[in-house]
Amino acid sequence: MNEKNYFLFNNSENPDHWKISEIILDQCKKYPKREIIEFINGPKWTFHDLKIKSLEKAQILKELSLNEGDNLTVLIEDPKEFILYWIACSFIGVMFVAINTAIKGNVLLHQIKTSKSKNVLVEDQFFHEVKSLVNLHKLEVEILNCKDLNDKDLLNEDEIILGKLSDNVCTMFTSGTSGPSKGVMMPNAHCVLFAIGTIENYNLRNNHTFYISLPLFHANGLFMQLLACIMTGAKAVIRTRFSASNWLKDIRKYNITHTNMLGAIAAFIVAQPPTKYDKDHNLEVIGSAPLPSEPEKIFRNRFGVKYVLPLYGMTEVNIPIYGLKNEIGNGRCGKLYEKYFEVEIRDPEKDTPVNDGLVGEIVVRPKQPFGFMSGYLGMPEKTVESWRNFWFHTGDAGIREKSGHFVFVDRIKDCIRRRGENISSYEVEQAFLEIPFITEAAAYAISADGGEGMEDEVMVALMIDNKINIDFDELLEKTKINLAKFAIPKYIRVMKEFPKTQTGKIQKNKLREEGVTIDTWQNKNI
C-alpha cells in the first residue's frame, strides 16, 4: 500500500462520506475476509462476521418497532454485544445511547429519563436492577434483556440507512462532577472525526494492532480506537476490563503496536514490578492525557515505547490538541490539530483572548461541519450555556505557550487562591505524582483560619503504596522542586480510597466538605 494511502476506507478524506453506517458497510463489502477484531479469551471476527452479526441485531431492533429517529438506551458491558447493537442502530437510523455500566441508583435513573428512549436494552446481569428502578419510579419505558433477543433473520441490506453527517447517531454521558450528568449528542461527522484524529496523528495503518482496554461506552474506546481500526483495517484487540497485571502480557501476546490510556491506568501499569520482558514487545504508540514527566520517562525508558503522545479533548469537542511524535510531553497537551479545529485561551469573565503564557479558559470550535456535539440531550439551557460568541467554553483553564504548545492547568472552579496567587490544583497534584510511591492525588482549597471570606489554604489527599512509611516533611521537600512556595500544601491526608463518580473521577466537592479531619497532617512551617 502506498505510504500516504493508509486509509482502507477509500472515501475517508471526503467528509461527505463520514457516516458510520456507510463506512462499516463499505469496509465489509470490500474486505470481507479481513480479520478486524479479536476479543481476549474470546472469538475473532472478520469484516464479514461483523456485517452478518450486525444485520441480525438490526432485524431484532426492527421487529421491536424501533425506527429511524428513535433512541435506544443500552446498558451492556460485553463488548461483543455492545459493538453489534451499536452498528445495528447505525444501520436503521436509531440513536445509540450508551450508559456506563457502573452507574446505579439516582444517576442511572437520571440518564434513563434523559435518554428519552422507549426501550432500554440491558445485559442479564443488570436486568432486575434496572427493571426494579424503572418500576419503582413508574417510568414509561420497556426494559429488554439481551439474552431474550436471539435467532432472528438478517436485515435486508437495501433497508440500511446511510443518513446524513448531521444525524445524531450516538449519545454519551459526561460524568457530572459538578451537576447532573449530561448526554452529549454526537453527529456522524463528530464520531468519525475522533477516528480520523487517531489515524492521522498516530499514523495508524492496516498492519498495526490496537489494544483497547478502555470502556466502549466512552468516545475514546469506541471512536478514537475501534472506529479508527475499522476505517484503516488495523486489528482491534479488545479486553473487557483493564487489568494492570495482564497489560504487558497482552501487549506481548497479541503483538500490539498502539494503545490509549487514562491517567489512572498509567499509574497502575508503572506500579507493576519490573520484569525481563518489559521491552520485549512491539508497542510503538501510547496516547494519553498529559502524563507527569516521571511516568512518561518510565514508559519510554523501562518499557521502550517510542511515542507517548499527550492529548487534550472531551466528548463534546473531540480531540483538538495532539502531542507530536518527535517531542517529549513534559506534562503539556501538545499542539493544535489545526486541520479541523480552532482553539483560543480566553479570559473567563470578559470572554476575550489572553496573551500567550497567561492562564485563561480553553475555548474550541470545529472547522468541519458537525465535527462537534450537536447539544446536550434534553438540556437546551446547558447547550446554550456552553456555546458563547461562537465558541464552545470547556470550563478548563489552560495556557498557550509562545511555541504553540498548550498546557492544561485546571478545571476553572478547582483553582485555589492563596496569598494573592492563583494556584492550580492540577500542578500541585502533578508535583506529588512525580513521587513513585504515590498513585493518586487530589489537591483542593480549604478555608484558612478565619472562615468564610478569608483566603484559601492548600490541602492534598493522597493514595500511596501501603508498604511505605511516610515522613511528611521529607515528602514536601521532594515536591518543592516543582512547586512555588505559595503552593506548598498546609494539609496532607493519606486515604485508603477516594470518593469517585461512576466514571472514576475524584469528587473533590466531597473532600472539601470533609475538610480537615482527625487523620490530616498539618504543615507547621506555614
User: 286-304: per-residue pLDDT in tens?
Assistant: 999 888 878 889 999 999 9
C-alpha angle with apex 182: 15 to 364, nearest 5 degrees? 45
pLDDT of residue 449: 57
Residues 18, 37 contacting (CB under 8 angstroms) = no
Q: Name the β-bridge partners of 494.
A: 462
Band (pLDDT 50/70/90 cuts) for residue 128 is: very high
Phi, psi torsion values for 488, nearest 5 degrees: -65, 125
Residue-wise pLDDT tens digits, 231-256: 999 999 999 999 999 999 999 999 99
Domains belonging to the chain, first-starting first, are 1-6+173-412 (3.40.50.12780), 20-163 (3.40.50.980), 415-522 (3.30.300.30)
pLDDT of residue 485: 83
DSSP string over 343-390: EEEE-TTT--B--TTS-EEEEEEESSTT-S--EETT-HHHHHHHEETT
Q: Give CA–CA dist 151/60, Å, rounded.
A: 9
pLDDT of residue 265: 85
Residues 19, 165 contacting (CB under 8 angstroms) = yes
User: How far from the centroid of its chain's Cα atoms is residue 226's Cα?
Assistant: 13
> Residue 163 region, left (φ>0) first, then alpha (ψ -120 to 50), else beta?
left
Q: Three-state DSSP class for 121?
A: strand
pLDDT of residue 348: 87
Residue 258 confidence (pLDDT) above 80? yes
Portion of the chain with pLDDT greater than 90, in percent? 70
Q: Give CA–CA dist 390/365, Å, rounded.
A: 8
Residue 275 confidence (pLDDT) above 60? yes
Q: What angle separates helix 20-30 from helix 47-63, to the nearest 10 degrees?
A: 130
Residues 311, 285 contacting (CB under 8 angstroms) = no
Residue 405 confidence (pLDDT) above 60? yes
Residue 33 confidence (pLDDT) above 70? yes
Q: Give CA–CA dist 118/155, Å, rounded.
A: 21
Residue 194 confidence (pLDDT) above 90? yes
Residue 2 confidence (pLDDT) above 50? no
Q: Which three cell numbers stand for residue 159?
A: 433497508
Q: Which three cell numbers stand for residue 90?
A: 447505525
pLDDT of residue 3: 41
Residue 115 confidence (pLDDT) above 90? yes
What mean pLDDT is reported for the chain?
90
Between residues 210 and 12, the one the model is more confident about = 210
Mean pLDDT of 372-380: 94
Band (pLDDT 50/70/90 cuts) for residue 489 is: very high
C-alpha angle with apex 212: 211 to 215, nearest 5 degrees? 170
Q: Give CA–CA dist 205/107, Å, rounded.
A: 39
pLDDT of residue 176: 55
Q: Three-state DSSP class for 152?
A: coil
pLDDT of residue 480: 86
Residues 288, 264 contacting (CB under 8 angstroms) = no
In sequence order, the 6+-apart residues with CB closer than 8 A to the CB of 14 are: none
Residue 211 confidence (pLDDT) above 90? yes
Q: Three-state DSSP class for 326?
A: coil
Mean pLDDT of 423-432: 84
Residue 352 confidence (pLDDT) above 80? yes
Residue 22 confidence (pLDDT) above 80? yes
What DSSP character marks residue 510? H
Residue in this structure with the C-alpha cell 425506527, named with its chain if needed: 67
> Residue 101 region, left (φ>0) first, then alpha (ψ -120 to 50), else beta?
alpha
- How would you write 221-242 as a 3-class SS string? HHHHHHHHHHHHCCEEEECCCC
Q: Give CA–CA dist 3/9, Å, rounded.
A: 15
pLDDT of residue 155: 93
Residue 451 confidence (pLDDT) above 60? no
Q: Which three cell numbers stand for residue 467?
A: 508498604
Residue-wise pLDDT tens digits, 61-75: 999 999 999 999 999
pLDDT of residue 329: 79
pLDDT of residue 484: 78
Between residues 400 and 108, the one the model is more confident about = 400
Residues 59, 105 contacting (CB under 8 angstroms) = no
pLDDT of residue 263: 65
Residue 205 confidence (pLDDT) above 70? yes
Band (pLDDT 50/70/90 cuts) for residue 503 is: low
pLDDT of residue 456: 82
Residue 92 confidence (pLDDT) above 80? yes
pLDDT of residue 450: 41
pTM for this entry: 0.85
pLDDT of residue 453: 41
Query: What's the chain's length in residues?
Result: 526
In sequence order, the 6+-apart residues with CB closer than 8 A to the CB of 212 are: 221, 225, 226, 236, 237, 238, 239, 259, 260
Portion of the chain with pLDDT greater than 70, in percent? 94
Strands (E) located in 117-161: 119-122, 142-145
What DSSP character marks residue 455? P
Query: In Å, how far are 7, 17, 251, 341, 512 from 2, measured between CA atoms?
Result: 10, 22, 27, 27, 56
Residue 38 confidence (pLDDT) above 80? yes
pLDDT of residue 420: 62
Residue-wise pLDDT tens digits, 139-164: 999 999 999 998 779 999 999 999 99
Q: Three-state DSSP class for 26?
A: helix
Amino acid found at 350: K
Q: Which three cell numbers stand for residue 215?
A: 470502556
Residue in this structure with the C-alpha cell 440500511, named with its chain if needed: 160
